[in-house]
Structure 1
Amino acid sequence: MRSITTARTARRRTLRVAAAALTAAAALSLTACSGADAAGSKPAGQSGSGAAAATSGGAGSDAAAPGSDTQAAPGANADAKTGAMAGPAGKQSGSAPAANAGTSGSGLERCHTSGLKAAFATGGDAAPDPNASGSTTTSIVLTNKGSRACKIGGFAGVDLKSENGGERWSLTRSTAKHGSITLQPGDSTDFTINVLLTKEDTGFYQPAYADVTPPNETSSLTIAWPWGTLVDQRGATHPGTFVNPIG
């Protein structure tokens, strides 16, 4: 009996050892698989970090060397977060006016009343048509009489006044759009006035002079009115006599 019991005990030990060996082998196998998976995950992780680096690098290279337009689309996400891509583009688009302003002369001032002279254009076809059935036009010419260039644009103020100056008519302005221009010394520009002339003996207004105030100025230039009588619409909401912008 002892020999049988000893044999069974030895057999159980052998089975336990074998089972332990199998368990260890299985554990090693699992560790190896896990290690292979980890090693296999590295390329994905590396390629992901590489893409992030390329994106940030693209924004950085854009900032260092703006003008790589082909990288603008990939940098759109970076734009939303940091604005790194938008900055150079914004600066480039905004730099053009500055360059133009520099070309026209740094510190270029507006044209002042003291540096201008005004006159009605009277030659050729400049005279308004006295037989027009409706509104016709006359032009006032502004000339830079100074020694420096200046900038002018917008609406001049025009006040018509009678012979004794007692009856004034401040003309309304049109809704036309306008810009600005540069006048070199001796250069001229003009603006038109729509005028509604009349030959009637009643309901008319006879100007003697026109006070012309350049844009953004407070003093005026007085010139003689060379034309006939106007329909008196000083109280009208939409008169037929009104001022158009310079240029």
Structure 2
Amino acid sequence: MRVHKVTFAVLAVAAGLSLTACQNGDADAGQSAPSSTSTVLPGSNASSTGGSSGTQSPDQSVAKPSAATGSGGSSSGGTGTGTGTGTSANAKVGKCTTDELEFTAKDNTIDGDPDGTVVVELTNGGGRDCTISGYAGVDLKTNAGTVSAKRTGQATTSTVLKNGKSIDFPINYPLNKSGGSGVRITGLVVTPPDETKSVTLTWPGAASLPVTDGPGASVKVGPVGSAGQGG
């Protein structure tokens, strides 16, 4: 009877050890599973030891919005469709109109020069950028009629005139050195390039033109962006 009790006890201990070993094996298997499914969220700087998932994938960087290029994709912060809008918007800047420009005329004659110079400044006050190029139309009102300025023939360039910025052009005219009253100037009429609407300004230069106007002594206008002594 005693032999049977000892044998039963040995069998019970062996069974217990076998059960414990099985339980430990299952626990180890359960602990290793999370490392293979680790996920790094977009924008996260966290690192992971679970294989290649520790680095951000290309999809994670694409998902970041980019207002500068409009390539935000499906991200809620994106503003474009992948083609961008900044470059095309700049390429479609409209021309400067008369109603958007502020006009200022000032005397810019240098002592000793044979001709007088008036500079007309155009300031963009339209609340947007605009393009301007070419020659403005210039007419001097006088007591003897209208005198239209002739172009100097200088090359022209197209300029994007930022909102609030200015550009100018020169008007050269013969000085009245005859000692007489000459032709009295009563006003300055300016029409911006590619526009038909004009503005009338107070003439800031010499009061009169000579009565006779020989070759090379006519009123001349330079292109926008060439302020100073004209050609």
TM-score (norm 1): 0.51
Query: 1:96-136, CA deviations, whole angstroms, 9 ceiling, x for partnerless residues?
Result: xxxxx9377142111000111111135xxxx314x535124
Cα root mean square deviation, aligned: 2.4
User: Could you tell me which residue of structure 2 aligns to residue 114 of structure 1?
Assistant: 99
- Which amino acid letter does the alignment assign opposite residue 166 of structure 2? S
Counterparts of 2:89 and 2:106 in 1: how far apart (Å)? 28
Structure with the largest fraction of helix: 1
- 1:17-69 deviation line (CA, Å, top 9, x unaligned): xxxxxxxxxxxxxxxxxxxxxxxxxxxxxxxxxxxxxxxxxxxxxxxxxxxxx
Shift of residue 201, structure 1, vs aligned partner: 4.0
Which of 112, 117, 130 is the aligned partner of 1:132? 112
> Could you tell me which of 136, 147, 152 is aligned with 2:132?
152
Q: For structure 2, which runs of at least 5 residues remain unmatched after alignment?
A: 1-85, 226-231
Is 1:231 matched up with 2:210?
A: yes
Letter of the 1:118 counterpart: F
Q: Provide the rounded CA distance (Å) in 1 between the counterparts of 2:149 and 2:162.
A: 29
The CA distance in 2 between the partners of 1:233 and 1:133, in whole Å, is 19
Distance 1:128 1:104 in 2: 40
List aligned pairs for 1:29-40, cutoff 5 A.
Answer: none
For these two proteins, the number of residue pairs brought into alignment is 139
Q: Match of 1:207, SS?
A: strand
Deviation at 1:180, TM superposition (A): 1.1
- In structure 2, relative to structure 1, the CA distance for the partners of 1:160 and 1:233 (3 Å cut) is farther
CA distance in 1, matches of 2:150, 2:212: 11
> In structure 2, what residue type is equivalent to 1:119?
T
Identity %: 32
Whichever residue aligns with residue 132 of structure 1, its letter is: G
The residue number in structure 2 matching 1:141 is: 121
Aligned residue in 2 for 1:172:
150
In the aligned structure 1, how far is the partner of 2:196 from the partner of 2:147? 17
Query: Any unmatched runs of 5+ in structure 1?
Result: 1-100
Give the match for residue 188 of structure 2.
210
TM-score by length of 2: 0.54
Tell me the distance in 2 between the aligned counterparts of 1:136 and 1:115.
29
Q: Which structure has the greater CA radius of gyration? A: 1
Cα distance change, pair 183–133 in 1 and its aligned pair in 2 (3 A): closer
